[in-house]
Amino acid sequence: MRLLLLGATEGLRYRLADMLGSTLPDALLVARNYTDAPAPVSEEHLSDVIMCTLGRAGEHLEALRQFANSKGSRTNCTPIIALAEVHDSDLAGRALLAGAETVLPLPGLSPALFITTLKLAHAQKLRVESGTRHEEKLPAVPGYRVLRKIGEGGMSKVYLAQRGDQESAVVLKLVDAKLAQDKMFVLRFARECQLLARIQHDNVVKIHDYSVDGNRPYLSMEYFAAGDLKSRIRGGLPAIASLKIMMQIVKAIDAIHSAGLVHRDLKPHNIMFRDWDRLALVDFGLAKPIDPDTTAQMQLTQDGMILATPVYMSPEQCMGKPQDARGDLYSCGVILFEMLAGAPPFSGDSPAALAYQHVNAQVPKLPPRVAGFQNVVEKLLAKNPENRFQSARELFAHIAI
């Protein structure tokens, strides 16, 4: 893999070279200083991935924009990774709008995350060159400039966008075109937007706008510069860091439960970071009121379909029984176990196999280095909700440091 690094200090060059040497020893790292003009096209054409540094106050942002807009970059489709000196969602959004494919904050950057990001960027370039990646037409959303697709699920697609003439990035979640014709699904999507609008908390995603009218219902929300919890778990988390993350998750859960809701789909992919220390819970597509008698408790799930993620489902959810706030606490237990051990407590080849273990299997032992958390994990993962922590506040009081 051929890498072009722009604007890095000598210390950063040595740091990145050390990360590469342990995992990608054959990678060729070429470092160059920024100039007022874009880097030479010939040198860029020799690169599989380009890395551009960004200063704390946005230094080099204009150089990144010029480089991304140069004829060579557009023709060669070489992905650009911005390396930011700080965790700053606004700066990261501006870098994406300028043409970066992704942004990696340098503080706390782990070798695993760095190498994984490089491999994904390189694989993207290879798909473009081979013609196996087909660029779909970007949707038109009034009031937004849609830049590119950044994610996709079975029910919606997620895009990076610019709102009006603002110099910041937002995330647009658009309902799949076919599902947009399903009145029940649109109703569930509208309810997700309404639920998010009700909850005002630092650890819950902030929404800017939503619409359920027209052909493509959408939700506009804040952009998260520092990735999701799943990426951090892959890079390895110290026990204290895991506990601090769980404390913020529990604060978000308490806010949700205080609003009379259960989330029902807690998982590391739904826990996003604004910066290194601050997180927010996203994706309320399966949330529902706790009170079973409320009129909002309609059949918004589909019979015979598993809409939540089986790895993180509570036993009662697996068995199709009513679920209250303690089901979310069970999911917190799965996430805490995964942060401490590096893998979830249960695994299986099918949803049925996972459901069986949630309902019947004993909680595995944590590695010796984090064995002191075993009692907390076992209480969270109790099969009977009555044997778990009974509220997010009770759990927070138990784990607060």
pLDDT tens for 59-77 read 888 888 887 877 444 445 7
Distance of CA 324 to the CA centre of its chain: 25
The helix/strand/coil state of 49 is strand
Instruction: Let me know if 265 is a catalytic residue.
Output: yes
* Residues facing residue 163 across a β-bridge: 144
Element (DSSP H or E) covering residue 209:
strand 207-211
- Indicate the pLDDT class of residue 38, thresholds 50, 70 and 90: very low
Domains in the chain and their CATH numbers?
Answer: 2-130 (3.40.50.2300), 144-222 (3.30.200.20), 229-399 (1.10.510.10)
Q: Is a pLDDT exceeding 60 seen at residue 11?
A: yes
Cα gap 4→10, rounded to integer Å = 14
pLDDT-above-90 percentage for the chain: 31
Cα gap 199→336, rounded to integer Å = 24
Per-residue pLDDT tens over the stretch 348-361: 888 899 999 999 99
Alpha-carbon dihedral 253, 256, 261, 262, rounded to 10 degrees: -20
The helix/strand/coil state of 83 is strand
Per-residue pLDDT tens over the stretch 365-389: 999 999 999 999 999 999 999 999 9
Which pLDDT belongs to residue 37?
A: 43
* Candidate list 48, 88, 254, 265, residue with the active-site label: 265
Rg (CA), the chain: 22
Which pLDDT belongs to residue 210?
A: 85
Q: Can you list the positions of beta strands (E) in 85-155? A: 102-105, 144-152
Q: Specify the pairing of strand 144-152 against strand 169-175.
A: unpaired
Q: Is a pLDDT exceeding 50 seen at residue 293?
A: no
Least confident of 78-82, 110-114, 339-343: 110-114
Q: CA 202, 211, 170: angle at the middle one, nearest 5?
A: 45
Cα gap 338→342, rounded to integer Å = 5
